[in-house]
């Protein structure tokens, strides 16, 4: 049987919902562990995910951290050289200095206490002020990302969760048509924009729901967090292809 790849955000998604919902998702994956490739795709750093992997009943096969700016593989979190070379090339050696010069002019941006990868991360207070800073940073050649009404990330141009996921799948020889992505905030939007089959869990932020409204490859689960992931994962794994998933999902919606 061809394996199913689950590429999932963590906070609010794989780690979302109540204890029973999380336990049900993890148990379902554990029972089919040989059939599932599990990829964590998070704004969290590799150190956080390494610790999380020790605590969860199911461990990831691969991880994409820091909003797509760091990648590791296997139980020992080994690097993927092809991805590291690409990410290093996209992040200038003086990126920090350039970004700091802009951010000092915008005191409403406050540094997040812990972040890694090739990025700079802040909290923002006023959206209008953050948008001004974002425009200045984009003119310098960086990408910016505002999500969950509080997070402001400065990223290498062309690097987000989605672009890094596609390159990771290619580097590992994993098929895109068997990949399901899951998320709940705007920093997951780039995964849905890849065209991969996706599920937005019920607790997804309103801005993400609006952004994915025209996308036929993304389904909106009626379940929150881990329950929403399990709902979509069961259907996708059973149907075996994108068209089957669409048909099964629409049939379920009309009969529930």
| Residues 150 and 163 grouped into a single domain | no
- Residues 165, 232, single domain; the answer is yes
65 in the Ramachandran plot: left (φ > 0), alpha (ψ -120 to 50) or beta?
beta
Spatial distance between the Cα atoms of 146 and 66, rounded to a whole number of angstroms: 14
Res. 252: pLDDT tops 70: no
pLDDT tens per residue, range 122-151: 999 999 999 999 999 999 999 999 999 999
Q: Using alpha carbons only, how large is the chain's radius of gyration in Å?
A: 18
Burial class (CB in 10 A: 0-12, 13-18, 19+), 11: middle
- Domain end position, chosen among 156, 171, 190: 156
Instruction: Residue 27: give the domain boundaries.
Output: 4-84+159-255
CA–CA separation, 248 vs 58, rounded Å? 27
Q: Which residues contact 22 (CB under 8 A, 6 or more apart)?
A: 15, 16, 225, 226
In which band, very low, low, confident or very high, does the pLDDT at 254 lie, cut at 50, 70 and 90?
A: very low
Q: Are residues 207 and 231 in the same domain?
A: yes
In a 3-state reduction of DSSP, which class is residue 6?
Answer: strand
Segment 145-194, tens digit of pLDDT: 999 999 999 999 999 999 999 999 999 999 999 999 999 999 999 999 99
Residues 65 and 163 placed together within one structural domain of the fold? yes
Indicate the range of 144-148, 238-242, 244-248 predicted with least confidence: 244-248
Tokens of 207: 């801005």
Strand partners, 6: 38, 180
Across 42-46, 112-116, 142-146, 148-152, least confident range: 112-116
Predicted TM-score (pTM) of this structure: 0.93
- Contact assessment for residue 242 and residue 250, using Cβ atoms and an 8 Å cutoff: no
| 78/104 same-domain check | no
The reported pLDDT for the residue numbered 80 is: 97
Question: Of 103, 124, 156, which residue sits at a domain end?
Answer: 156
Q: What percent of the chain has pLDDT over 90?
A: 89
Q: How confident is the model at residue 253 (pLDDT cuts 50, 70, 90)?
A: very low
pLDDT band at 245 (very low <50, low <70, confident <90, very high): low
pLDDT one-digit tens code per residue, 51-104: 999 999 999 999 999 999 999 999 999 999 999 999 999 999 999 999 999 999
Q: Are residues 211 and 242 in the same domain?
A: yes
Instruction: Give me the count of residues in the chain.
Output: 256
Q: What is the pLDDT of residue 247?
A: 54
Cα–Cα dist 185/213, whole Å: 14
User: What CATH number should be reported for the domain holding residue 249?
Assistant: 3.40.50.1000
Per the prediction, the chain carries an average pLDDT of 93
138, 187: one domain: no
DSSP conformation class of 78: B
DSSP 138-154: HHTTEEEEEETTTEEEE
- pLDDT (0 to 100) of residue 141: 97
CA angle 78, 82, 84 (to 5 degrees): 65
């Amino acid at each position: 049987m061809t394996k199913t790849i689950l590429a999932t955000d963590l906070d609010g998604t794989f780690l979302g919902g109540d204890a029973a919902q999380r336990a049900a998702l993890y148990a379902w994956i554990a029972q089919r562990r040989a059939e599932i490739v599990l990829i964590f795709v998070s704004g969290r750093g590799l150190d956080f995910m390494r610790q999380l992997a020790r605590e969860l009943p199911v461990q990831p096969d691969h991880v994409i951290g820091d909003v797509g700016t760091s990648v590791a593989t296997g139980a020992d979190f080994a690097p993927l050289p092809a991805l590291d070379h690409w990410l290093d090339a996209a992040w200038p050696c003086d990126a920090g200095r350039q970004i700091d010069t802009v951010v000092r002019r915008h005191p409403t941006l406050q540094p997040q206490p812990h972040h890694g990868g090739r990025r700079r991360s802040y909290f923002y207070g006023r959206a209008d002020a953050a948008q001004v800073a974002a425009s200045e940073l984009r003119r310098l050649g960086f990408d910016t990302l505002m999500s969950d009404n509080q997070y402001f990330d400065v990223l290498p141009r062309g690097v987000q969760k989605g672009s890094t996921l596609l390159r990771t799948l290619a580097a590992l020889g994993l098929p895109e048509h068997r990949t399901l992505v899951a998320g709940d905030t705007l920093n997951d939007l780039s995964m849905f924009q890849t065209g991969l089959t996706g599920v937005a869990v019920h607790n997804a932020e309103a801005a993400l729901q609006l952004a994915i409204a025209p996308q036929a490859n993304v389904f909106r689960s009626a379940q929150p967090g881990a329950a929403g992931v399990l709902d979509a994962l069961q259907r996708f794994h059973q149907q075996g292809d994108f068209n089957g998933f669409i048909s099964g999902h629409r049939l379920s919606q009309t009969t529930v």
